[in-house]
Structure 1
Amino acid sequence: SVLASKNKSPIILINDNLNKSTKDFVSTNKSNFKNVTIFGGEAVVKEPTISSLFGAFRSGETRSDTKEVAAERWDRSYLKDYHIELPDSGKLDIEYDINNFTRFDLIVLDIKNNEIIKKSYNYLKNNKSIHDNYNDIRLPKGKYIVRVHAFNMDGTYTIKAKYTQEGEGFEKENNNDIKTANVIEPNKSIIGSIHNYNDVDYYKFTLNEKGSLKINLKHNQYGRYGFKVSLLDENNKSISQFISGGEDINSYSNKLRLPKGTYFVKIECEKWNDEPLQYELNLVYDIEGENYESEPNDYIQDANYIKCNKEYIGNIQSRDDRDYYKINLNSDSKITINFKHDEGYEKWIIYLYDKDNNPIRRFKSYGYEINKDFNPIELEAGEYYVSVEGRDSLDYTINVKREAPDKSDDENKRVRRR
């Protein structure tokens, strides 16, 4: 280290009786080096590093290198670092061919030697040839190392790297936590990728008015791999999540009714993967008016106030969701709850409560009952609540129809006291 500091140049130690490929490399590329000292050792063989071998890329540029690796000892390995520099955020695509190695590792590291991706091939047979790629590695501007690590050093490899600068409409790393989330807009697609099983992508968006939201995720068919997609509030609390499996190439979340505010989408791999998984994210958002349910309304104290004889549209967005509505009767009344929905396979349960949350009546609407009037009930003037729960995320329409009580008919009289 003292000598390296004094010479202000790299030092390579090598035994003259070992590693012919390294000596040939130095001889071939000696014009690229300055004041190099060579030394030897018994552990990993590392070829001299040229800091600009791949150097600074231009967008769309491909650079490659081919090496024939040979060694007299089989208990040693070959390691080579290619230093590259990306002038702006974008994606890196790596294509490679390998032949006659018992093991081969392709690794990309940041400048601090933190591993970004690693692709390994183990227990390869003699003369085994592999052509493969590791694409869609999205990286921020900076310097990186593409590392090749080979075992049974009697083989050849070719490696190609292509850099593509990406602008609006593409994920920008690093966005691995809520603080570094990419800012996106509803109804505009963005393309991103999970480049290994540790990668997590966060996106931040704002709704200026209440409305309905569906999270749409498209991707190629990935077989056993897939994505886990979560919607979070501004305090990082989960609102909803869904799995987009490898076969689910065009997935949607349930319809989510949200108040205005700031939210986050979190995307991660659903199963361990050692290949990049590219996706396209879109937030399908529609502004909704006063005749639509407003979340959160899961508890009686958060109930939406509704008027009698007017239709309101809502939906059950998860199995834990329950929708509360509040009505005020300024006089004794007979009410009939009308409940509509498209044909489905599940059922809804509707409750009528008094002002103290005591149940008065329970109703059911099955999937085939697309337009149903429940039995009327007479109520005294006052404050009441209606709740809806179920397992179907279809939109429903609810209308509390009100008329004067039929007090002349003692048989139908059902005035409930507060």
Structure 2
Amino acid sequence: MKQRNILVAIILVLGLLIFSKGNAVLADAGDAVSINTNQSYSSTLKDYDDEDYYKVTLAEDGNIILSMNQKANVSWYASIENSSGEVLEDFNTDDSAMVSGAASRQVGLPKGTYYIKIDNYYNATGVKYTFSVQFTKSSFYEKESNNSITAANAIDTDKIYKGTIRDYDDSDFYKFTISEDGNIALSIKNKAGTSWSGHIQDSKGIIYEDLNSDDSELVDGYSITEVGLPKGTYYIKLNGYSSYSHVPYEFKVGYTKSNFYEKESNNNVTSANSLSLNQTYYGRISEYDDDDFYKFTLTSDGKVVLSLKNLAGSSWEAKIHNSKGEIYQTLYSDDSELVDGYASASIGLPKGTYYIKVTNYSNTVNKQYELKAAFTGSNNYEKEFNDNLATANLMNLNQLYYGNSNTSYDKDIYKFTLPADGNISVKLKQVPNMEWQATVQNSSGTSYVELETNDSELATGYATANKMMKKGTYYLVIERNYGDYFNAAYAASVTLQTSPISASKVKLENNKGKDDKISVSGLVKGDVIKVYNASSKGQVIAQNTAGSSTLTLSVKQIGLKSGKVYISVTKAGMTESSRVGISYTGEQSDPLKTSQVKVYNNKGKTDAVNISGVSKGDTIKVYNASSKGKLLATKQVTGNSGSISIKQLGTKSGKVYVTITKSGMKESGRTAVSYKGEQTTALKSAQIKVTNNKKKNDTIVVKGIAKGDTIKVYNASKNGKLLASGTSKATSSTLTVKQLGTKSGKVYITITKSGMTESSRTSVSFKKK
């Protein structure tokens, strides 16, 4: 029993030694005492070899800070470990004479169970220590251990993460995935006196970009490096660089989704990034020997304009080449102090696949460049290489071609064919301070035309040269004589003009009331005929292409009056001819209305035809027949009416036929206008015998007349009453009147011959009954 009591006493003593103020102190991690975060705990180490273990469980990811009181001439060692005994963070407290406060270390951890180990470092046996584990829940702290790719922490882009580098051997790895191509910007927060290094790599360890943060005294903000990457999974590795131990860092992986950032690695032709034309791309040269390659394809011939954004103090070099490395164009961006905008260079290329190589020329490492390859499809731009007769570009006549001189010895050659003999015109655009030379030669090198541009400062327009040439195949050679060759541009053409058409081959109908017609003969199928309303400029009023040797064009209205049209012809492969003027008569004037014409058939004087409702300058003609016949009179009126005199229309009634011809127009149709005959000559009183009978009808006998004459008897010299009327059937005629009167008196008799008007009245006396 005594022995049992002694054993119990020993256990109690041991218990008192192990526990102080309710805190368990254990000899190893297996016996670790569970503690809570964000609370303080105290205990003592019983001897030099004693170690105390505590266990803390994190329900979520986050950051813990292990803090421990400090005491003069005493130092404890404290560490944070995982269940495998791996030390995740550790430190010794300060034992200096004036020390106060607490020492602390922090580390980001995933949820789980961890251990706090406290050990004697110097003179700590029997001295009370106090510590706490502060916890901040967060997904944005590093989670140790993350010292390798396989243990890398998964992170999201565009989020700030925090962590610490414990010592020289410590590395923190992070893993991120981008689902689409884009630009990655790795940024590390700068801190005075402390610097970290970081890089972006893939799973094979290939490093795309790296950087060191800035540790200068007054530093602020972030150090940043950028790289374009294709979709996939990548890693960030962070290390200490200077005075970094246990100092918290902050970093972020920024991501911008885009197909228009370079995608590393693209350091050679086989790994070249595909480039879309007419889009701006962004990239960086990461080292002085870094090259960025891009590949593009032209589906048709055309012009490529390569451009690089200028940046003061930095210059990039870009070259366009083929898969064989043959260089078509070279471009340097401008690095002058006040530079702005873009440097650009043009080149004509046939359809195919090409490459752009971007390199450092001056101070561009880790600086972003902007690159663009703009394309315009065209058959009228030179297609390199065209430096000799065998590779000469085919040239169509009468079209302007464009090109560039890419080197001091560059020569561009074009091949063209003249389908017929003719006069060619060579044109070469003039550029200030630049002298170009153009030569027309045959395949044997015989020159026919030599032309040089004006290189003065104010040069404009085109230099031209003309030459009569035989049909055949020739070459146009363009070279630079003087001036800066770099990206120098030219424009040139060779034209062959069609000969003008013969006026005798043109027939024109200016129709009234329907479309006018222009017929052209002597053509070749494919000839283009144009009809203009002026000898130069003006408007095209008709145009068509000949399907055979003749062509008829319709024009709704050439013009009412006479005038000219101007006709050109353009043969295939040639320019338009000069215009030939073709005269035409006006349309037929509208005929006069009968109401506009009055005819006076005068007796004993000149007859007259009066016209009204006309215009000054109108020409009036009077005919004696509806067609052909005799022109009786013509006159041009001086106002809006006129009178035409005719010596004798005829004694009897009839018709005249009147036309009008308006200025610039054709003569109208004839308008028939009737006129009366002249007045019949009055009877003589001797030709008349009047008998005033008693108890029977009175008689009036008229002799010396003709068959068909009409005799009328009146009771007054004018007006009055018609007493009798009759038509003669012979040379005399007897008319009866029932009663002239019982007393003597007078009657008044007229005669009207056929086709003439009634005569004046002849008075004849008669006796009383």
Q: Aligned-pair distance for 1:63?
A: 1.9
Give the alignment partner of residue 26 of structure 1, picking from 14, 17, 22: 17
Give the alignment partner of residue 278 of structure 1, picking from 244, 248, 251: 248
- Cα deviations by residue, 1:25-52 (Å, 9 ceiling, x for unpaired): 629759989xxxxxxxxxxxxx864979
- Cα deviations by residue, 1:351-383 (Å, 9 ceiling, x for unpaired): 232330133443321334433454545556654
1:57–1:87: 8 Å Cα contact kept in structure 2?
Answer: no
Give the alignment partner of residue 287 of structure 1, picking from 225, 237, 257: 257
- Cα deviations by residue, 1:75-131 (Å, 9 ceiling, x for unpaired): x94754242322445433233333332655444444554433333468x66x44343
Give the match for residue 349 of structure 1. Answer: 317
The 2-side partners of 1:30 and 1:303 are apart by 70
- Cα deviations by residue, 1:233-273 (Å, 9 ceiling, x for unpaired): 13332222111244565324322111111111122222465
The 2-side partners of 1:234 and 1:203 are apart by 11
Flag the 1:316–1:158 CA change in 2: closer, same or farther, 3 A: same
Q: Aligned-pair distance for 1:151?
A: 2.6
Residue 281 of structure 1 aligns with an amino acid whose one-letter code is F
Residue 116 of structure 1 aligns with an amino acid whose one-letter code is L
Are residues 1:135 and 2:105 paired? yes
Flag the 1:378–1:149 CA change in 2: closer, same or farther, 3 A: same
Give the match for residue 200 of structure 2. Answer: 231
Q: Aligned-pair distance for 1:278?
A: 2.0
5 Å-filtered alignment, 1:48-127, equals 49=27, 55-59=33-37, 61-65=38-42, 77=48, 79-88=50-59, 89-101=61-73, 104-120=76-92, 127=97
For 1:254, what is the secondary structure of its paired residue?
Answer: strand
Flag the 1:186–1:363 CA change in 2: closer, same or farther, 3 A: same
Give the match for residue 358 of structure 1. Answer: 326
Give the match for residue 217 of structure 1. Answer: 188
Residue 230 of structure 1 aligns with an amino acid whose one-letter code is H
Give the alignment partner of residue 318 of structure 1, picking from 280, 286, 306: 286
For 1:350, what is the secondary structure of its paired residue?
Answer: strand
1:78–1:150: 8 Å Cα contact kept in structure 2?
Answer: no
Give the alignment partner of residue 396 of structure 1, picking from 346, 370, 379: 370
Give the match for residue 303 of structure 1. Answer: 272
Unaligned runs of 5+ in 2: 1-6, 383-401, 403-413, 415-427, 429-437, 439-477, 481-487, 491-769
Higher Cα Rg, which structure: 2
2:322–2:354: 8 Å Cα contact kept in structure 1?
Answer: yes
Flag the 1:138–1:196 CA change in 2: closer, same or farther, 3 A: farther
Flag the 1:128–1:389 CA change in 2: closer, same or farther, 3 A: same
Give the match for residue 174 of structure 2. Answer: 203
The 2-side partners of 1:91 and 1:272 are apart by 22
Residue 183 of structure 2 aligns with an amino acid whose one-letter code is S
Give the match for residue 309 of structure 2. Answer: 340
The 2-side partners of 1:203 and 1:282 are apart by 11
For 2:357, what is the secondary structure of its paired residue?
Answer: strand
The 2-side partners of 1:93 and 1:103 are apart by 19
Q: Aligned-pair distance for 1:396?
A: 1.0
Give the alignment partner of residue 411 of structure 1, picking from 479, 501, 512: 479
Q: Aligned-pair distance for 1:334?
A: 5.5
The 1-side partners of 2:297 and 2:26 are apart by 82
Give the match for residue 18 of structure 1. Answer: none
Residue 136 of structure 1 aligns with an amino acid whose one-letter code is Q
The 2-side partners of 1:376 and 1:272 are apart by 52
For 2:70, what is the secondary structure of its paired residue?
Answer: strand
Residue 339 of structure 1 aligns with an amino acid whose one-letter code is L
For 2:140, what is the secondary structure of its paired residue?
Answer: coil
Q: Aligned-pair distance for 1:313?
A: 1.6
1:304–1:326: 8 Å Cα contact kept in structure 2?
Answer: yes
1:108–1:147: 8 Å Cα contact kept in structure 2?
Answer: no
5 Å-filtered alignment, 1:240-259, equals 240-247=209-216, 250-259=221-230
Q: Aligned-pair distance for 1:316?
A: 1.7
1:83–1:145: 8 Å Cα contact kept in structure 2?
Answer: yes
The number of residues matched between the two structures is 369
Q: Bigger CA drift: 108-117 or 297-306? A: 108-117
Flag the 1:57–1:154 CA change in 2: closer, same or farther, 3 A: closer
- Cα deviations by residue, 1:138-165 (Å, 9 ceiling, x for unpaired): 3452241322324345995643212315
For 2:256, what is the secondary structure of its paired residue?
Answer: strand
Q: Aligned-pair distance for 1:279?
A: 2.7
Residue 332 of structure 2 aligns with an amino acid whose one-letter code is K
Q: Aligned-pair distance for 1:222?
A: 5.6
Give the match for residue 155 of structure 2. Answer: 184
The 2-side partners of 1:399 and 1:119 are apart by 58
Instruction: Give me the TM-score of the superposition, normalised by structure 2.
Output: 0.42
1:56–1:87: 8 Å Cα contact kept in structure 2?
Answer: no
For 1:26, what is the secondary structure of its paired residue?
Answer: helix
RMSD of aligned residue pairs (Cα, Å): 4.0
Residue 321 of structure 2 aligns with an amino acid whose one-letter code is Y
Q: Aligned-pair distance for 1:285?
A: 0.9
Instruction: Give me the TM-score of the superposition, normalised by structure 1.
Output: 0.72
The 2-side partners of 1:31 and 1:299 are apart by 69
2:81–2:114: 8 Å Cα contact kept in structure 1?
Answer: no
Flag the 1:272–1:112 CA change in 2: closer, same or farther, 3 A: farther
Residue 69 of structure 2 aligns with an amino acid whose one-letter code is D
Residue 371 of structure 1 aligns with an amino acid whose one-letter code is G
Q: Aligned-pair distance for 1:211?
A: 0.8
Q: Bigger CA drift: 181-190 or 103-112? A: 103-112
Residue 58 of structure 1 aligns with an amino acid whose one-letter code is N
